[in-house]
Amino acid sequence: MSDYPQTQLHIGGIWRDGSKERISIVNPASDAIIGTVANAGRDDLDEALATAATGFTVWSQFSAFERAKLLHSAAQFLRDRVEKIARMMTLEQGKPVAESRSETLAAADTIDWFAEEARRAYGRVVPARSLNVRQIVIKEPVGPVAAFSPWNFPLNQAVRKVAAGLAAGCSVILKGPEETPASCAELVRAFADAGLPAGVLNLVYGVPADISNHLIPHPIIRKISFTGSTAVGKQLAALAGAHMKRVTMELGGHAPAIVFDDADVDLAVRILAGAKFRNAGQVCVAPTRFLIQEKVYAKFLDGFVKAAEAITVGNGLDDDVTMGPLANGRRVEAMEELTADAVACGGKIATGGERIGNQGYFYRPTVLSDVPLGARVLNEEPFGPIAVVSPFSTYEAAIEEANRLPYGLAAYAYTTSAKTSAALGRDVQSGMLSINHHGLALPELPFGGIKDSGYGSEGGTEAMDNFFNSKLITESI
Ligand code: NAD
């Protein structure tokens, strides 16, 4: 594919190669190698660290007003380039081009939101015990940040870290996703073209463990932000803890979607099927455990199977396609293993349950029913186009199942009872709960999990706080 770029590192304001052998990029719709990405060695990382330190000194002196102006300008570059970036993203990641387009525009919105938040980083004045004392709390940027972002949303996982960090006045070394590097690099290009000083935002790719093992303990880095699996998040959080570094962890989930007898079932089917199969299910907040109250179970299952079968799977560049391939071969293998295990445990395949063809990483939208709780798919994050639909009898039983797992990222519920809605808000253990609609992941809303799904938020004003130190200044006047 001639229109897919060769992706470079961005260190100290310069786009350049790394000292290690370049990494090949595969189009998940065809298995074809479409390009390569530069691979950072330790020397490249040391340069990125040095320039991030200088970049921090420069950028933290910019006023909030100037930072906001520059961020708005970067957002506009993304909007202007949406068609080019969306095509790149679909080529490397697989999602339908309409999803790539909306991801790019959402990234621009996120930058705009954090640009405005930069101007509202107020601090506070605390009334003193004596008239002669003035006590103020100011917010200062925490310092250079090491940010690690994954391949499922090449722009939107990165932009939450980069935009909030830059808005706060931090410099950033972003380790982008090696499998989907080109669209992520466009985020960095937008900031560079907007006039961000050299060294403030650096981009590296390489061997993830080598990069995190070098950056996290390094004294220049003051904060870590990671999005990815719980297993890796725990390792990185432990390393950060050993070096007393601030951490934000946005990890895995296994979201319950609870549909009560009194729900608008057609609405629930339509919205939940859209949320389930978007990005081929490779979404940390995707609904995965569908808990349906007994009276509407059959109707929901029937409707959900029809919705899954109505999805057009294919190359994301084709206009009529509504679900692309999985992003890599590992995910297809995982889907095959989870399905086989569910069936071996006594589960039934209501639809799908198999790979499509042997070129590209296509897997049928899959609905499983009658799956016992011990099956792997009801315990491990599927991160793919598999929905498990199970009946429940009482409110208490639904809550028990919803809260059973160590995860606590997103949860969904459908009910027309105000009493049930209020009780769910109290009882469901998750960082986010969306009732009767899909309302997550807007830049102005907190975004993050509890329990094994991580800590810290990547949205709303809470996201900015992760990049600030609070400093108390008390003076006698
Ligand atoms: P993985 O666990 O190897 O990698 C997940 C992410 O972490 C990737 O972006 C990878 O580059 C990064 N990573 C891995 N080891 C690292 C290290 N030592 N230091 C720094 N970064 C590291 O698995 P995978 O096959 O790429 O993805 C599969 C699982 O990851 C999924 O099942 C899902 O649970 C999780 N995942 C979650 C998200 C999310 O949005 N929370 C995104 C991507 C993947």
Annotated catalytic residue 250: yes
- R_g over Cα of the chain: 23
Give, for 280, the enclosing helix (H) or strand (E). none
Strands 246-250 and 454-455: antiparallel
Predicted local confidence at residue 453, as pLDDT: 98
284 is catalytic: yes
Q: Any idea where the domains of the chain sit in the sequence?
A: 9-251+454-476, 255-443
The CA 205 to ligand 1 mean position distance, Å, reads 14
Q: Which pLDDT value is given to residue 3?
A: 80
Q: Which of 229, 278, 379 to mutate to test the pocket of ligand 1 (most atoms within 8 A of CB)?
A: 229
For the segment(s) 255-443, the CATH number from 3.40.50.920, 3.40.190.80, 3.40.309.10, 3.40.50.300 is 3.40.309.10
Going from the Cα of 152 to the center of ligand 1, the distance in angstroms, rounded, reads 9
Check 179, 250, 380, 381 and give the catalytic one. 250
First to last CA, the chain: 68
∠ at Cα 207 (176, 201), nearest 5°?
A: 30
**Secondary structure of residue 141 in the 3-state scheme:** strand
Distance of CA 475 from the midpoint of ligand 1 (Å) = 48
Q: How far is Cα 268 from Cα 272, in angstroms, rounded to an integer?
A: 6
* Cβ-based neighbour number of residue 34 at 10 Å: 18
Residues with CB under 6 A from ligand 1: 148, 150-152, 177, 208-209, 212, 227-229, 231-232, 236, 250-252, 284, 330, 381, 383
Q: Is 460 left (phi over 0), alpha (psi -120 to 50) or beta?
A: left
Residue 69's SS3 state is helix
- For residue 150, report the distance from its CA to the centre of ligand 1, in Å: 6
The whole-number pLDDT of residue 170 equals 98
Residue nearest to atom 8 of ligand 1 (CA): 150
Q: How big is the CA angle at 347 (ends 344 and 350), to the nearest 5 degrees?
A: 125
What count of residues does the chain have?
477
Handedness of CA 53, 54, 55, 59 (dihedral sign): positive
Cα 432 to the chain's mean position, in Å?
14
Report pLDDT for 346: 98
Asked if 139 and 468 touch (Cβ cutoff 8 Å), the reply is: yes
Write out the two tokens for 332: 């297809």
Catalytic residue among 99, 284, 380, 381: 284
| Residue 427: per-residue pLDDT | 98
**Residue of 232, 245, 249 with the most ligand 1 atoms within 8 Å of its CB, for mutation:** 232
Q: How far is the CA of 66 from the centre of ligand 1 (A)?
A: 35
Sign of the alpha-carbon torsion through 113, 114, 117, 119: negative
* pLDDT at site 2: 55
Rounded Cα distance between 126 and 69, Å, is: 30
Tokens of 411: 């949860």
Look at residues 175, 181, 188 and name the one whose alpha carbon lies nearest to residue 216.
175
Check whether domain 9-251+454-476 has CATH 3.30.70.1900, yes or no: no
Atom from ligand 1 closest to the CA of residue 150? 9
- Beta 124-126 vs 133-141: how paired, if at all? antiparallel
State the burial class of residue 476 (Cβ atoms within 10 Å of its Cβ: 0-12, 13-18, 19+): exposed
Cα dihedral value 410, 415, 420, 422, nearest 10: 60
DSSP state of 119: T
The sign of the dihedral angle between the CA atoms of 191, 196, 199, 201 is negative
Supply the pLDDT for residue 441: 94
Nearest CA to ligand 1 atom 9: 150
Contact in structure between 366 and 339 (CB atoms under 8 Å): yes
- pLDDT, tens only, 136-187: 999 999 999 999 999 999 999 999 999 999 999 999 999 999 999 999 999 9
Sign of CA dihedral 45, 198, 442, 362: negative
Residues of the chain with pLDDT under 70: 1-2
